Amino acid sequence: MLGLLGQATKGVGALAAAAVIAGTMGIGAAKAQETIKVGILHSLSGTMAISETTLKDAMLMLIEEQNKKGGLLGKKLEAVVVDPASNWPLFAEKARELITKDKVAAVFGCWTSVSRKSVLPVFKELNNILFYPVQYEGEESERNVFYTGAAPNQQAIPAVDYLANDEKVERWVLAGTDYVYPRTTNKILEAYLKSRGVKAEDIMINYTPFGHSDWQTIVSDIKKFGSAGKKTAVVSTINGDANVPFYKELANQGVKATDIPVVAFSVGEEELAGIDTKPLMGHLAAWNYFMSIDTPENKAFIEKWHAFTKDKKRVTNDPMEAHYIGFNMWVKAVEKAGTTDPDKVIAALPGIKQANLTGGISEMLANHHITKPVFIGEIKGDGQFDVVWKTKDLVPGDAWSDFLDGSKTLEADWVKYNCGNYDTVQKKCLGAAAAAK
CA 63 to chain centre: 18
CA–CA separation, 73 vs 128, rounded Å?
19
> Is position 280 within any domain?
no
Whether residues 254 and 208 fall in one domain? yes
Query: DSSP 3-state assignment of 426?
Result: coil
What band does 22 get if pLDDT is binned at 50, 70 and 90?
very low
Task: Confirm if 237 and 266 have CB atoms less than 8 A apart.
Answer: yes
Whether residues 181 and 239 fall in one domain? yes
Whether residues 359 and 302 fall in one domain? yes
Whether residues 214 and 134 fall in one domain? no
Segment 130-154 shows an average pLDDT of 97
pLDDT in tens, 341-375: 999 999 999 999 999 999 999 999 999 999 999 99
Beta bridge partners, 147, equal 132, 369
Whether residues 162 and 240 fall in one domain? yes
Whether residues 165 and 118 fall in one domain? no
Which one of 345, 373, 401 terminates a domain?
Answer: 373
pLDDT at residue 99 in the model: 98
pLDDT in tens, 161-203: 999 999 999 999 999 999 999 999 999 999 999 999 999 999 9
Structural domain harbouring 234? 156-264
Task: End-to-end CA distance of the chain: give it in Å, rounded.
Answer: 80
CA 293 to chain centre: 20
HEC profile for 241-286? HHHHHHHHHHHHCCCCCCCCCEEECCCCHHHHCCCCCHHHCCCEEE
Q: What is the mean pLDDT of the chain?
A: 91
Task: Confirm if 147 and 136 have CB atoms less than 8 A apart.
Answer: yes
Which one of 331, 352, 373 terminates a domain?
Answer: 373
The number of distinct structural domains making up the chain is: 2
> Is position 105 within any domain?
yes
Query: DSSP 3-state assignment of 169?
Result: coil
pLDDT at 25 over 80: no
pLDDT at residue 403 in the model: 95
pLDDT at 119 over 50: yes
Whether residues 137 and 192 fall in one domain? no
Task: Confirm if 204 and 230 have CB atoms less than 8 A apart.
Answer: no
> Is position 298 within any domain?
yes
> Is position 424 within any domain?
no
CA–CA separation, 411 vs 423, rounded Å?
6
The residues, any chain, with a CB within 8 Å of residue 420's CB and separated by 6 or more, are 140, 141, 142, 143, 367, 368, 399, 412, 414, 434
Whether residues 161 and 137 fall in one domain? no
Whether residues 104 and 166 fall in one domain? no
CA 340 to chain centre: 22
Helical segments of 101-208, H only: 113-126, 156-165, 180-195
CA–CA separation, 173 vs 378, rounded Å?
19
The amino acid at residue 49 is A
Whether residues 166 and 110 fall in one domain? no
Greater confidence (319 vs 34) lies with: 319
> Is position 85 within any domain?
yes
The residues, any chain, with a CB within 8 Å of residue 160's CB and separated by 6 or more, are 172, 189, 192, 193, 235
Instruction: Give CB contacts under 8 A, 24+ apart, made by 407-412.
Output: 407/139, 407/437, 411/367, 412/141, 412/366, 412/367, 412/368, 412/369
CATH code where residue 125 lies: 3.40.50.2300
Give 378's DSSP letter. Answer: E
The residues, any chain, with a CB within 8 Å of residue 378's CB and separated by 6 or more, are 282, 283, 284, 385, 386, 387, 388
Whether residues 203 and 258 fall in one domain? yes
The DSSP bridge pattern shows strands 353-355 and 361-363 to be: antiparallel
Task: Confirm if 82 and 111 have CB atoms less than 8 A apart.
Answer: no
- How large is the C-alpha radius of gyration of the chain? 25
Q: What is the pTM of this model?
A: 0.89
Query: DSSP 3-state assignment of 35?
Result: strand
Query: DSSP 3-state assignment of 346?
Result: helix
Which one of 324, 346, 373 terminates a domain?
Answer: 373
CA–CA separation, 238 vs 295, rounded Å?
30
Segment 222-232 shows an average pLDDT of 96
> Is position 287 within any domain?
no
What are the backbone dihedrals phi and psi of residue 407, each rounded to the nearest 5 degrees, phi first?
-120, -25
What are the backbone dihedrals phi and psi of residue 4, each rounded to the nearest 5 degrees, phi first?
-65, -40
pLDDT at residue 48 in the model: 85
CA–CA separation, 42 vs 353, rounded Å?
25
> Is position 132 within any domain?
yes
* DSSP annotation string for 184-223: HHHHHHHHHHHHTT--GGGEEEEEE-TT----HHHHHHHH
* Cα angle, residue 270 at apex, residues 268 and 273 outer, rounded to 5°: 110
Largest CA distance in the chain: 109
Task: Confirm if 106 and 327 have CB atoms less than 8 A apart.
Answer: no
Whether residues 243 and 345 fall in one domain? no
pLDDT at residue 33 in the model: 62
